[in-house]
């Protein structure tokens, strides 16, 4: 996430620094807020598998870029931000000079292909802009973008014939056969159109493009690196050189220009999921009449507007971390719609958005926790449109399912639960302009698809049996929370019958708790708990990306009920304390791609999202001040102004959204309520310029690593004893002021009336 590639002041805030996250999964490229284009360098081409055998190093290239690499393969237009699995890397362009090469070569032998060496000393990255010198060719590459258009500026050396390679076989998590087909048409000497279809994490992904060139093409050609077994009567033509229609499964094309006379080449690439006509419309509407500097200026203005909606005070490092995090929350989800409103739906038909902007890239297992609540608070219009996009997804789904983990008109089904219902519930309770009954209908249909990951057995038995799912225990906990979200939405919509049904399902989490040990534990169909159980083991114990020690706290809708199952408050606090204080034995994560010691505080795993709410759970106990201690420890260790400064994958903005909320001094422990649980501010001053035109200030003038404890709180000048603040109080504008000290106020927030929401008071 955090790189020292570029850090500069603009306006009254410090711009984010762009680079890689702790796993190298965030791209340092050019994009605008929520843009469909994320134009970025890709530094290698490690395939996901070779002949079906997984290649472990492919995991490092989830975003296509690794800071430690010494070569760049090219610049592609679509990327996922901070994910732990990957796809995309569509429409890659690489400028070259010298002998023609149509394969990328290898990092061990760069001269064997068209890739180029580079140095970080020539790299510059800032919101909306990327620059680097390609050393092998002496080409200066500069990139910027609009929502749907990537704009390249290549300055070639004098006395060298310049060309661009258009590699339509290249992709992230590539493998033999991922590209199903690619086509290019040379419409005239400055315009190319085409598409490619890939079969990857998105099973069927259509990416159409239109490429405008500032110079006329002098010579061109292509090669299909996978020789077709049958070519029909195309054999009539000299198709590989200066033939205006190209097609293939591994198509790599080249286009040469008179850069001796005109060393600067501008390449504008419009993309679309609907058609080449859509790509051309996007190109013409957003970039055709604009030069590079104008596009760059507008991109910077867009980021300046969005980032400056929060003003903070703090050190240079603190500001850099804050705005880097805020920047990351506005990369994904991203627009998935042409300028005329047309988009490809989940049914693979072309639809037209009516009254909303269609979005894609919903990493919901991660982002329902803080990313979507943050957008609902600070980017209300976009958040509302994302909710409608999810409802349309459900309506187009042959399964009748809301998105689970969806991108590019596909659901890749990654992770567990159906957490879109949480996003819908949270938006509705916070006043989004969404049809409640339409949303509720989509939620109920989703929760009734029996063949989704043990859901039928969950409905029948009250839990997912371990024989049916290797993640049975965690999936039960997640379904139970999601059902609570449906319960709250039904209440909100006045549907008491559905509310009663899902209120009962919201308590199904109890069915996987072994009260003899005070932890969640997978259960077999016959009602017996799994034997030979280790609460600290991640693999083979019924949980996904977490162990029982972390996941047993995953009952955000009913903390008091969870506390009872753990043996009461004393045991609950003891378990929380042990989680943070007792180091996790390395044997439990030595073979885990996601988790390293950098992601851990004791046994608390900040790099995996199921733990994100846990530091705030002390608020329900008699020791809420411990939240104030631990959130600052997490902030200091897991978020650093450094190349590898993030303790885990950013996961489409979730890690960064956690940082933003925690810096504010509160966090949405249970999305679907209107409450944010108070912790302690990280910075001395923050001002939110809210979408409704009002401002909300957060003041903690003496806060520091030493003065991390909350002595007292005032809301709009009046003493405030509650351990939560409601969404409406923030939207009304005002001032939340914290008096900080070096020792905790152990009497504050102990009254039951001051505690946050819980579905029950326990048993």
237, exposed or middle or buried, with CB in 10 Å at 0-12, 13-18, 19+? exposed
pLDDT in tens, 348-382: 999 999 999 999 999 999 999 999 999 999 999 99
Rounded-to-integer distance, Cα 178 and Cα 97, Å: 29
- The residues, any chain, with a CB within 8 Å of residue 119's CB and separated by 6 or more, are 133, 135
Res. 14 pLDDT band, cuts 50 70 90: very low
12 vs 460 pLDDT, higher one:
460
Res. 239 pLDDT band, cuts 50 70 90: very high
Structure tokens, 678? 């108070």
Residue 302: helix, strand or coil by DSSP?
Answer: helix
Mean pLDDT to the nearest integer, 10-37? 66
Strand-pairing partners, residue 697, are 687, 735
Average pLDDT of every residue of the chain: 94
Res. 5 pLDDT band, cuts 50 70 90: very low
> What is the dihedral sign for C-alpha 529, 531, 534, 540?
negative
| Cβ-based neighbour number of residue 289 at 10 Å | 8
Residue 605 reports pLDDT greater than 50: yes
pLDDT in tens, 421-469: 999 999 999 999 999 999 999 999 999 999 999 999 999 999 999 999 9
Are 497 and 547 within 8 A, CB to CB? no
Rounded-to-integer distance, Cα 344 and Cα 279, Å: 13
Tell me what pLDDT residue 608 has: 87
Are 476 and 508 within 8 A, CB to CB? yes
Structure tokens, 364? 């919901």
Are 87 and 61 within 8 A, CB to CB? no
Structure tokens, 428? 């509705």
Strand-pairing partners, residue 124, are 131
b (16+ CB within 10 A) / e for 570-588? eebbebbeebbeeebeeeb
Weakest-pLDDT range from 611-625, 646-660, 667-681, 733-747:
646-660
Rounded-to-integer distance, Cα 385 and Cα 633, Å: 36
The closest alpha carbon to 683, from 252, 184, 310, belongs to 310
> What is the dihedral sign for C-alpha 354, 357, 360, 366?
negative
Residue 612 reports pLDDT greater than 90: yes
Tell me what pLDDT residue 210 has: 98
Helices (DSSP H) in 432-471: which residue ranges?
436-446, 455-461
The pLDDT > 70 percentage for the chain reads 96
Strands 264-272 vs 600-601: parallel, antiparallel or unpaired: unpaired
Residue 312 reports pLDDT greater than 90: yes
Are 525 and 513 within 8 A, CB to CB? no
Rounded-to-integer distance, Cα 304 and Cα 285, Å: 22
The predicted model scores a pTM of 0.96
Inter-CA distances, 222 with 256, 454, 651, 730, Å = 12, 49, 37, 58
- The residues, any chain, with a CB within 8 Å of residue 299's CB and separated by 6 or more, are 30, 31, 32, 127, 128, 129, 144, 145, 146
| Cβ-based neighbour number of residue 461 at 10 Å | 17
Inter-CA distances, 270 with 146, 152, 213, 486, Å = 9, 11, 12, 40
Residue 201 reports pLDDT greater than 70: yes
User: Phi/psi at 509 (nearest 5 deg)?
Assistant: -55, -30
Could you state, in order of their start, the residue ranges of all structural domains in the chain? Answer: 9-305, 362-754
b (16+ CB within 10 A) / e for 490-523? bbbbebeebbebbbebbbbbbbbbbeeebbbbbb
The closest alpha carbon to 731, from 699, 677, 691, belongs to 691
Residue 591 reports pLDDT greater than 80: no
End-to-end CA distance of the chain: 44
Could you check whether the bond before residue 333 is cis, i.e. omega within 30 degrees of 0? yes
Rounded-to-integer distance, Cα 255 and Cα 186, Å: 10
| Cβ-based neighbour number of residue 193 at 10 Å | 20
Mean pLDDT to the nearest integer, 406-433? 98
Residue 224: helix, strand or coil by DSSP?
Answer: strand
Are 135 and 119 within 8 A, CB to CB? yes
Tell me what pLDDT residue 595 has: 72
The closest alpha carbon to 144, from 268, 296, 35, belongs to 296
563, exposed or middle or buried, with CB in 10 Å at 0-12, 13-18, 19+? buried
Rounded-to-integer distance, Cα 248 and Cα 554, Å: 49
| Residue whose pair of structure tokens reads 């939207």 in the numeric block | 731
Is 362-754 in CATH node 3.40.50.920?
A: no
Are 107 and 71 within 8 A, CB to CB? yes
Tell me if 9-305 shares its fold with 362-754: no
Q: Rounded to 5, what percent of the chain is helix, strand, coil? A: 30, 25, 45
* CA trace torsion 29, 32, 37, 43 (10° rounding): 10
The correct CATH number of 9-305 out of 1.10.390.10, 1.10.10.10, 3.30.300.30, 2.70.98.10 is 2.70.98.10
The closest alpha carbon to 393, from 359, 368, 425, 440, belongs to 359
Tell me what pLDDT residue 24 has: 52
Tell me what pLDDT residue 12 has: 37
The residue length of the chain stands at 763
Tell me what pLDDT residue 715 has: 98
- The residues, any chain, with a CB within 8 Å of residue 231's CB and separated by 6 or more, are none
């Amino acid at each position: 996430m955090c790189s020292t590639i570029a850090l500069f002041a603009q306006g009254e805030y410090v711009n984010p620094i762009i680079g890689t996250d702790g796993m190298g999964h965030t791209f340092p490229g050019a994009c605008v807020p929520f843009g469909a284009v994320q134009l970025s360098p890709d530094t290698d081409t490690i395939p996901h598998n070779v002949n079906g055998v997984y290649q472990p190093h492919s995991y490092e290239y989830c975003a296509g870029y690794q800071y430690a690499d010494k070569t760049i393969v090219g610049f592609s237009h679509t990327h996922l931000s901070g994910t732990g699995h990957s796809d995309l890397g569509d429409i890659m362009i690489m400028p070259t000079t010298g002998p023609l090469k149509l394969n990328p070569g290898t990092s061990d032998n760069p001269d064997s292909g068209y890739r180029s060496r580079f140095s970080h000393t020539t790299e510059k990255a800032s919101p909306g802009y990327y620059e680097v010198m390609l050393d092998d060719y002496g080409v200066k590459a500069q990139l910027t973008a609009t929502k749907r258009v990537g704009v390249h500026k290549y300055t070639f050396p004098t006395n060298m014939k310049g060309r661009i390679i258009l590699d339509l076989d290249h992709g992230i998590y590539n493998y033999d056969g991922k590209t199903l087909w690619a086509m290019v048409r040379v419409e005239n000497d400055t315009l190319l159109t085409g598409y490619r279809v890939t079969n990857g994490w998105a099973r069927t992904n259509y990416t159409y493009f239109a490429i405008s060139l500032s110079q006329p093409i002098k010579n061109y050609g292509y090669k299909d690196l996978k020789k077709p077994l049958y070519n029909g009567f195309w054999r009539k033509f000299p198709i590989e050189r200066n033939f205006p229609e190209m097609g293939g499964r591994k198509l790599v094309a080249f286009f040469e220009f008179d850069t001796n006379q005109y060393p600067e080449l501008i390449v504008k690439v419009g993309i679309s999921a609907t058609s080449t006509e859509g790509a051309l419309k996007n190109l013409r509407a957003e970039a055709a009449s604009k030069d590079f500097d104008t596009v760059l200026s507008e991109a910077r203005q867009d980021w300046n507007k969005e980032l400056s909606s929060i003003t903070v005070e703090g050190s240079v490092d603190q500001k850099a971390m804050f705005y880097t995090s805020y920047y990351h929350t506005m990369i994904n989800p991203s627009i998935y719609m042409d300028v005329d409103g047309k988009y490809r739906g989940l049914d693979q038909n072309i639809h037209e958005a009516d009254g909303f902007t269609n979005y894609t890239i919903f990493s919901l297992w991660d982002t329902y926790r803080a990313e979507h609540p943050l957008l609902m608070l600070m980017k209300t219009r976009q958040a509302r449109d994302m909710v409608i996009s999810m409802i349309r997804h459900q309506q187009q789904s042959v399964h009748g399912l809301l998105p689970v983990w969806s991108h590019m008109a596909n659901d890749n089904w990654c992770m567990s639960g159906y957490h879109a219902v949480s996003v819908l519930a949270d938006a509705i309770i916070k006043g989004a302009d969404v049809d409640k009954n339409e949303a509720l209908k989509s939620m109920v249909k989703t929760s009734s698809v029996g063949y989704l990951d043990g859901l039928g057995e969950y409905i029948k038995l009250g839990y997912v049996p371990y024989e049916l799912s290797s993640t049975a225990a965690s999936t039960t906990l997640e379904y139970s929370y999601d059902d609570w979200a449906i319960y709250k939405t039904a209440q909100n919509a006045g549907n008491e019958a559905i509310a009663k049904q899902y209120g009962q399902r919201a308590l199904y989490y109890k069915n996987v708790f072994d009260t003899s040990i005070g932890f969640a534990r997978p259960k077999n169909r016959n009602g017996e708990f799994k034997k030979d159980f280790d609460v600290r083991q991640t693999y083979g114990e019924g949980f996904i990306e977490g162990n029982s020690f972390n996941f047993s706290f995953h009952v955000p809708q009913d903390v008091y009920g969870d506390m009872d199952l753990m043996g009461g408050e004393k045991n609950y606090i003891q378990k929380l304390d042990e989680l943070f204080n007792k180091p996790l034995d390395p044997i439990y994560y030595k073979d885990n791609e996601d988790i390293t010691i950098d992601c851990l505080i004791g046994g608390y795993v900040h790099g995996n999202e199921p733990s994100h709410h846990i530091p705030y759970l002390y608020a329900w106990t008699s020791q809420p001040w411990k939240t104030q201690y631990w959130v600052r420890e997490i902030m200091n260790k897991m978020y650093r102004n450094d190349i590898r400064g993030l303790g885990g994958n950013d996961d489409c903005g979730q890690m960064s959204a956690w940082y933003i909320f925690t810096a504010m001094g509160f966090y949405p422990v249970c999305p679907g309520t209107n409450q944010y649980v108070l912790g302690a501010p990280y910075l001395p001053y923050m001002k939110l310029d809210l979408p409704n035109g009002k401002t909300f200030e957060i003041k903690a003038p003496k806060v520091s690593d030493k003065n991390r404890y909350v002595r007292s709180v005032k809301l709009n000048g009046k003493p405030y004893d509650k351990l939560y603040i409601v969404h409406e109080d923030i939207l009304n504008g005002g001032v939340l002021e914290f008096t900080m000290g070096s020792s905790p106020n152990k009497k504050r927030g102990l009254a039951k009336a001051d505690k946050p929401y819980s579905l029950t008071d326990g048993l």
